[in-house]
Amino acid sequence: MDHQRGVEDDKLKGAIMSLPDVRSCSVEMSDDGGISAIHIVSASKRPPKQIVRDVESVLHANFGVSVDHRKVSVARVTEPEEKRREAVPRARLDAMTVSSAGGMGRVEIELERDGVSASGEASGVFVGGGCLRLIAEATYAAVENLVSGPVGFEVQDVVRVRCGEREALVVLANLAAEREVMSLAGCVLVGDDINRAAALAALDSCNRILERLPQIERIEYEINPSD
């Protein structure tokens, strides 16, 4: 049974569009305010069933909305070869350092994108879910250093959810950029390393946004001033 809780359809659509495998989508609402259908277009090679599970996880974690998977349809399209060649490389996780003592911790994240590297760090309470939150904050700090221009992220929550027999990690955040504030959600299946999953989920939430933001210039060499 759907439970929509008065959430506007454009907010539902925004959360779905934050998924990296979603190219476009539409959300149809019924007269009683529930979700009657969700139509998704994807250029990803991932099975539609996995994309549907990501949609279920994002809506449930972000809004508490449960939707019947039979109401979610996924159409796969193939992008032209020339467009794939011109696609902007996504940021990738290069390194992560996690340290803690006395209930406090520090995380440093290094990212790389198209030959340009940037790092970010975060420190704070490490107990409970604090570790995963610090990892997400450090990842966003590295993203901020990877682009030029005023960009700011704020972590809202890091949630562990069940997806059938698997477990997923969902990172929810707000992004302030280009004179607007956007809600982001990133979802990654948890493997053997949940810390790495937290960093990848944060990246998953903003990699598509990064395609619209100017990257810092690559420094080929530096000339040190003479003494």
- Tell me: the pLDDT tens digits for 27-51? 888 888 788 999 999 877 788 888 9
pLDDT at 7: 66
User: Would 227 be classed as within a structural domain?
Assistant: no
- With a cut of 90, say whether residue 107 has pLDDT above it: yes
User: Would 221 be classed as within a structural domain?
Assistant: no
Same domain for 31 and 100, yes or no, is: no
Radius of gyration of the chain (CA): 19
Given 81, 100, 117, which residue is the final one in a domain?
81
Look at the chain and report how many structural domains it folds into: 2
Residue 29 to residue 169: CA distance in whole angstroms: 27
Q: Are the C-beta atoms of 201 and 186 separated by less than 8 Å? A: yes
pLDDT tens digits for range 132-191: 999 999 999 999 998 877 788 999 999 988 877 889 999 999 988 767 788 899 999 888
Residue 170 to residue 64: CA distance in whole angstroms: 13
Instruction: Give me the CATH number covering residue 67.
Output: 3.30.300.30
